[in-house]
Structure 1
Amino acid sequence: MTEIDIIGSGHMARGIATRLLAGRHDVRIIGRNDSQMRDLIESLGPGASGAYMGSPITSNVVILAVPHGATREVLLEYGDGFDGKVVVDISNPVDYTTMDRLTTSPGSSAAEETATMLEGRAEVVKAFNTTFPKTLVVGTVAGQPLDVFIAGDSEAAKEKVSAAVARSGMRPIDVGPLRWARELEAFMLLIMALQVNPEHEHFNWDTALKLLA
């Protein structure tokens, strides 16, 4: 079984870990909050383990399950610890005080910022930003498997992430190079804005972005 490191111990870490464990991956949760990390690992059950932030990264695939604003701190803390890894950026750089704008610069994305900070030492893949914690825990919405939209400049890196997604019962959709993360993040701004808009009372965080054919 393949081990995957997840940095973060919040709701998205729980959701992604749940799905990966269902796909018979081993998952290691790396977090700062001792009690939160322990509670998460215990609830996840067999196949899940934990480590404190700063512990060496042992997996080839590392998922950054942290808010966009915390990414830089994590990358600086680990330094060359990400060298040669596939780093998955799941963040949505949304201004949560207004829910009406992205916090990234025009013509960029959170994933591209991550790639710039890593300076080519790791392959960055955008994935899971179009999924929500509750739907990941369940694995389906309205009986449909979750779609996971994936962007990246390395075909080999995208193949690794896509394989893990597919094995975990979800449908990977390769949207193209990493610059397409801009569209994925912008679209989720729209989705989130609709969900918090009181005029759309039937929209909530249990929804999913799904392509049907």
Structure 2
Amino acid sequence: MATITIIGTGNMANAIGGVLADGGTSVTYISHEQSGSAALEGDVVVLAVPYPAVDGILGAYGDQLAGKTVVDITNPLDFSTFDSLVVPAGSSATEQIAQKLPNSRVLKAFNTTFAATLSAKKVGDLQTTVLIAGDDADAKGTLAAAIEAGGVSALDAGSLARAHELEALGFLQLNLAAGEKIAWTGGFGLVR
């Protein structure tokens, strides 16, 4: 079973770590402030930080991320206006991270769920589903198995190029919640 290091200690970091620990995965946390000074123990590293913090983390860890699976959970929003994404049209934060980490297996996951729906493992009456995009089937399978062992559904959403659509979906969900059109305990559910 993979060991996972989560960079971040906020609501999403704790919700993700809770699900993974519930499934028996070994989880360690590194606070954003500790970035670069704490060792990366996990085979999988989850970037559970706001998008603007990602470049600093990549710079602090550099070659230590080589050979690891790096999971990007960010939604690259313009948080001052909540009206647009800050990555080039047709691209994604995850694709930009992958370009900076050519020796890592980069995945997009967790950005279309809220911390409350991960912790509850439900969206309304439906089981919470984590959508995963990436180009490495083994890395996606390892992450999906850890998520499912923790009581949450996981679905392969396709190649890394699908991170663009996942970020658009995350943007819509955050925009609706910020506008008080849905609750932070709500979100999108998936019926299979």
Same-fold status (TM-score > 0.5): yes
Conserved? CA contact 2:2–2:44, under 8 Å: no
Mapped to 2, the partners of 1:31 and 1:68 lie a distance apart of 15
Aligned pairs, how many?
191
Taking the TM superposition and a 5 Å limit, the aligned residue runs for 1:185-204 are 185-198=167-180, 200=181, 203-204=182-183
Mapped to 2, the partners of 1:78 and 1:66 lie a distance apart of 15
Mapped to 2, the partners of 1:65 and 1:190 lie a distance apart of 19
Q: 2:73 matched to 1:121? A: no
Q: Which has the higher contact order (CA 8 A, sep 6+)?
A: 2
1:87-139 deviations in Å (ceiling 9; x for gaps): 00000001122111001111210100110111x11000000001111222222
Larger radius of gyration: 1
Mapped to 2, the partners of 1:101 and 1:141 lie a distance apart of 25
3-state DSSP of counterpart to 1:159: helix
3-state DSSP of counterpart to 1:124: strand
1:84 to partner: Cα distance? 0.2
Q: 2:24 matched to 1:16? A: no
3-state DSSP of counterpart to 2:170: helix
Mapped to 2, the partners of 1:165 and 1:58 lie a distance apart of 19
Mind listing any 5+ residue stretches in structure 1 that lack a counterpart?
34-51
Q: Which amino acid is the alignment partner of residue 176 of structure 1?
A: G
Cross-structure match for 2:6? 6
1:191 to partner: Cα distance? 1.6
| TM-score, normalised by the number of residues in structure 1 | 0.85
| TM-score, normalised by the number of residues in structure 2 | 0.94
Mapped to 2, the partners of 1:63 and 1:6 lie a distance apart of 5
The correspondence for 2:131, drawn from 132, 149, 159, is 149
Percentage of matched positions with identical amino acids: 40
Q: Which amino acid is the alignment partner of residue 116 of structure 1?
A: Q
Mapped to 1, the partners of 2:140 and 2:2 lie a distance apart of 16
Q: Which amino acid is the alignment partner of residue 14 of structure 2?
A: R
Mapped to 2, the partners of 1:84 and 1:15 lie a distance apart of 25
Mind listing any 5+ residue stretches in structure 2 that lack a counterpart?
none
Mapped to 1, the partners of 2:113 and 2:11 lie a distance apart of 12
Conserved? CA contact 1:146–1:208, under 8 Å: no
Cross-structure match for 2:157? 175
CA RMSD, aligned part only? 1.4
